[in-house]
A and B are shown apart, each in its own frame.
Chain A
Amino acid sequence: MRDALFTRRDILKASAALAIGATGATRVASAPAAESVTPALIAAARKEGKVVWYTVMDLPVAEKLARAFEAKYPGIPVRVERSGAERQFQRLAQEVASRIYAADVVNSSDAAHFIVWKRDGWLAPYVPEDVARHYPAEHRDPDGLYATSRIWLSSLGYNTNLVKPEEAPKSFADLLDPKWMGKMVKGHPTYSGTILTATFQIARDLGWEYFEKLAKQKVLQVQSSTDPPKKLALGERAVMADGNDYNLVQLKEAGRSVEIVYPSEGTPLIVGPNGVFKMAPNANAARLFQSYLLSLEGQQLLIDFSGQHSAHPLVKEKAGRKPLGEIKLMKDDPAAVEKQSEEIKARYTKIFGV
């Protein structure tokens, strides 16, 4: 099977080169040609018999996608290895340094990680058909190493049992009001990629003074960006200072007493890429999974179930949800995050004490 795969890939490489030559493309990038899901790929994946997905999505969302994949491709169980993006980044580095190759497909909420992994040569080029055909350029790596699997925001929120709508904070600045002292929950940038990305954008646009003042408000410091929405829904804190807006969408649709606030200064935009790991022990299953996740089917399921947004233009937003276009966004900048990541974490830890 391995031989077959290599042959096929060699052919594809050759055809990709041909394609570039034929169109006379001046682009330096060397994205391989799109690959459709062939019976040969499915058979090879089935022979491997499993796929391990290192992901940072909220656990029930990731498991939902995993089960859907298993239903479509029986005999290829997905093991979801879920952790915070920054924690996962460290663990993956530690594993690779010890030559442990357990990951097949990798996902992150810190897009900067893909810059690092790409530079280190840890990602395998693979462009699923849907990505080639539909994904806008800003949501796919020019070299075909990864593509955006989901888009969401780090928003504010409040518990509607504890806060009246007219009293709810409307902006980041509102959170600094003494009335929210001891009433907020937020995630941690050394654990969560979402929070790290959001911290970067907020510090860039509002300055670190914002965090210095926020730290004096006695926030409940949790780790994952999936946790503040959950603590909010339990009524543990009245206001969420950062965290996944999509968890709030889910909770709200489930009838829980939470409300999302997109702050007037703009809401941090989080883009979560997904890629095939080069040293993947189950290389075919990894490609099949990558292809499924980025397909219209996978994306539509992800978006319907989780309340996130898709880079796939054919995906339809569920009725009643706020389209991304109507929200004032902060600008994401993975390259800058990559450069400042360590500094952000150190500075944050110093300000908040943990």
Chain B
Amino acid sequence: MLGLAVLLCVLIVLPLSWLFYFSVTDRSGAFTFENFSKLITDPVFLDPLITTFILAILASLACCAVAAPMGWLVARTDIPARWMIRILVMASFVTPPFLGAIAWELLAAPNSGLLNQGFRLLTGASQEERLFNIYSFPGLVFVISCYTFPYVFVLIANSLDRIPGDLEDASSILGGRAWVTARRITIPLALPALVAGALVAFLQSMTLFGSPAILALPAGFHTMTTKIWSLFQYPPKPELAAAASLPLLVLTVILLRAEHVILGRRGFSVVGGKSGDPRLVRLGAFKWPALVLCLVVLLNPVFLPYGALLNATFSSVATTLVSPANFTFHNIEFVFFELSATKLALKNTFILGATAATIGTLIALVVGYLTTRKAIVGYRTLGFLATAPVAIPGIVLGVGLFLSYTRPPLILYGTLWILLIAFVTIALPAAYQQLQSAFRTVHPDLEDASRILGASRLQALAHITAPLLRTSVIATWCFVFVGVMRELSAAIMLFTSETKVISVLIFDLNESGDLAAISVLGLFMLIITFAVVILANRIPGFGGVHLRNH
């Protein structure tokens, strides 16, 4: 068990130590605060810091504005096809944000974007006019919100699912009208989840790399993540990158603390013995408009981008609608038969996905067991270590791992190991959370009975607990696998030509403007993702993946 603790320590403490070390040293290795003073005085760094802050606030607000009503509609009203809405939100969640950003380039690039072309065609507007400009600050906020709102949605919908109907009933019985009940009961009870959702959305938007790299640079501005990344351009400035990473890290830790404090109070609100199912609000005549509203929202992260990718896959010109005249299989042929990087990237992605999922699930399983059963001294520390990576943004982890493993004693850069470490570290908190709650559902009595009958702890685990947890374990495995497929921010810091993964390949292709190839690869990636998600959901007894991932 000590080994496990040491392993977790190495995973987390080593990269962070190097990060701190580099941030306070200069080239010669002498102690200095110069990196930080440059960070806060040089507008080259200060501007992205401010931009990122505003960006994250706006995206977070946008996510809440969309996700809160939707979460309420799905959880507490008789809106039709709620399962479909949940599935579509899940689809937006598993869509890699960088892929979404590229798809939105196809849709809303100011001149060539499909939506802008359509707008001009319908209104007869001149070439100068446009509806959207995705290469802009609002464009970036929009695209980031598209793929961040599911985090808020899940938190809110889950919380509303859990608010007992009794309290609302009591309010109605005492004569409270619908609005009064909502204002005095439902909203206050759901508020912690909303605030927590806002914080998570803020964190996601702040630490995202792909979307800003794809949209902000053409628009002519940097965010912190793209700036950190650009510091590795020749000649690399790792000490500045390390210093620039620390504000992201510190802010994340603070916000997660805040989230914990806020969510920690929520337990109080639902105390109350057995409670009835939540009462569904009857929407009456608003039923169908409400559904239409949800679907309109879901146009943005799902239908439109997927449609744009599909169109670019089969069209000879990426932003021209497919027609018999320009229909082509050439793009598919190019990606799978000519593009020589495809095979290796697919192979690497599958190897990394499968091993990271297996190792991550195993570690999470052991730590989850030890902490829920309080099996060893110091189980709290283990639990803390398994959760700690939540606070490390992908790009910061990437920088830390790069600094740690490009020098002796352990040179892992250039191998799949360094990516494996990154992916396991990133996936661990979510995997641990899922499996820990799964362990809680298995009552220790069952294990105790087995042990009374003479089984050892491990035998009890193998014969009693493991079979009961099978579905959760498979779900967690799939969840980590999907997470690895969509990871870009750490991978972009750590890959070499031999260890390229699909996300990095797509990013490379975007820089050379090969949009058709991206569409083919992106759709392929989505197909695999959905296959895995469906697999996880078809396992009996498994009620949907808990959509939480940092």
Contacts and interface: CB of A to CB of B under 8 A. Distances in A.
A98 B411 contact: yes
Contact of B112 (A83, A87, A235, A350): A235
Interface string A48-82: 00001010001110011011000000000111111
Interface residues of A, number: 59
Contacts of A223: 217, 511-512
Nearest to B226: A354
B442 interface: no
Nearest to B344: A79
B102 to A, nearest CB: 13
A306 interface: no
A226 B512 contact: yes
Contacts of A313: none
Contacts of B221: 353-354
Interface string B227-243: 00010111110000000
A354 B334 contact: no
Interface residues of B, number: 44
| Overall SS of chain B's interface | loop
B414 A224 contact: no
B220 A354 contact: yes
A89 interface: yes
Interface stretch (A37-45, A99-107, A140-148): A99-107
Contacts of B269: none
Interface string B492-536: 000011100000000011011111010000000000000000000
Interface string B288-320: 000000000000000000000000000001110
Interface in A240-297: 256
A97 interface: yes
A231 interface: yes
Contacts of B135: 220
A79 B496 contact: no
A352 interface: yes
Nearest to B405: A98
B111 to A, nearest CB: 5
B110 interface: yes
B378 interface: no
B235 A342 contact: yes
Interface string B448-477: 000000000000000000000000000000
A224 B512 contact: yes
A310 B413 CA distance: 38
Contacts of A46: none
18 contacts: A59-B509, A60-B334, A63-B340, A77-B340, A79-B341, A84-B512, A90-B234, A90-B236, A98-B414, A100-B498, A221-B218, A223-B217, A226-B512, A230-B513, A231-B513, A236-B112, A349-B44, A353-B221
Contacts of A340: none
9 closest pairs, A vs B, by CB? A227-B513, A90-B234, A100-B414, A230-B513, A236-B112, A234-B112, A223-B511, A224-B512, A81-B497
Nearest to A162: B127
Given A81-B497, A238-B111, A256-B317, 8 more contacts: A63-B334, A83-B511, A97-B406, A221-B219, A222-B218, A223-B511, A342-B235, A353-B222
Contacts of A83: 508, 511
B511 A84 contact: yes
B445 interface: no
B496 A78 contact: no
B496 A91 contact: yes
Nearest to B513: A227
Nearest to B500: A81
Given A60-B334, A220-B218, A353-B221, A98 B413 contact: yes
A100 B508 contact: no
B84 interface: no
Given A63-B338, A221-B220, A98 B512 contact: no
B512 A58 contact: yes
Contacts of A78: 340
B281 interface: no
A90 B232 CA distance: 8
Contacts of A177: none
A83 B338 CA distance: 16
Given A98-B414, A353-B220, A227 B511 contact: yes
A206 interface: no
B109 interface: yes
Given A102-B496, A221-B220, A342-B235, A59 B230 contact: no
Given A100-B413, A354-B221, A95 B233 contact: no
A309 interface: no
Nearest to A87: B233
Given A59-B514, A100-B413, A221 B127 contact: no
A89 B234 contact: yes
Given A59-B512, A99-B411, A234-B318, A190 B406 contact: no
B45 to A, nearest CB: 12
Interface in B400-437: 406, 411, 413-414
Given A79-B341, A99-B411, A236-B109, A222 B235 contact: no
A90 B233 contact: yes
B280 interface: no
A312 interface: no
A81 B498 CA distance: 9
A353 B334 CA distance: 35
B254 interface: no
B525 to A, nearest CB: 19
Contacts of A81: 341, 497
A103 B497 CA distance: 9
Contacts of B411: 98-99
B9 interface: no
A222 B512 CA distance: 9
B233 A190 contact: yes
A7 interface: no
Interface in B230-260: 230, 232-236
B65 interface: no
A276 B294 CA distance: 58
Given A221-B217, A221-B218, A54 B318 contact: no
A9 to B, nearest CB: 26
A63 B411 CA distance: 32
Interface in B251-282: none
A152 interface: no
Nearest to A159: B111
B414 A86 contact: no
